[in-house]
Amino acid sequence: MSKYVKQLMTDHLKQQLDGVENVVLVTVEGIEANANVELRRTLRQKDMQLLVVKNSIARRATEGTALAPAFEGLNGTAAVVWGGTDIVDVAKEVVRLAKEKQFEPFKARGGVLDGQKLSESDVVDVSKWPSRTEQLSILVGQILSPWQSLAGQLVGPSGALASQVKKKSEGESEDAAE
């Protein structure tokens, strides 16, 4: 391959990975063609992209970026998966798909999270974390919890007082009717 073609491929990869800070590297070698198409379709439905890259071109394209550690010392065929709402979603989907029989050789090889290189086991660990959406719901629950408790404490006694006032007023209206 000529230097000119390599440079064009490097520039194209830089454009595709522009703004991407977290990726998961996977093995796709040995997957049947139909399974490969289905794998890519499944990832696209979750707004994730899979791209097979040549290691030397990927190293050049990511040089000086947060993604560079992912390709250090990488050997063999690799593909890059990115997208979704966050890296946790990508890791969860990769781990889930790796367990499916139809995508048998597919598995995580590593990746990058906030500029730190991830191993295969790190990707599995990240897949167990709560996603961004789950984290936000936990945070909102923690923020609202004291207020809900306070509201319950205020409503409880006031409800009992209102009930007693109502009973008292009903009792007085019955006495007046007699």
Cβ-in-10-Å burial (0-12, 13-18, 19+) of 126 comes to buried
Band (116; pLDDT cuts 50, 70, 90): very high
The model's pTM = 0.73
User: Encoding tokens for residue 69?
Assistant: 């550690």
CA–CA separation, 79 and 65 (whole Å): 18
Q: What pLDDT is stored for residue 129 in this prediction?
A: 87
Query: What average pLDDT does the segment 97-115 reach?
Result: 91
Q: pLDDT for 13-47, tens place per residue?
A: 999 988 889 999 999 988 999 999 999 999 999 99
Q: What angle do CA 77, 106, 69 make, to 5 degrees?
A: 50
Query: What average pLDDT does the segment 135-144 reach?
Result: 80
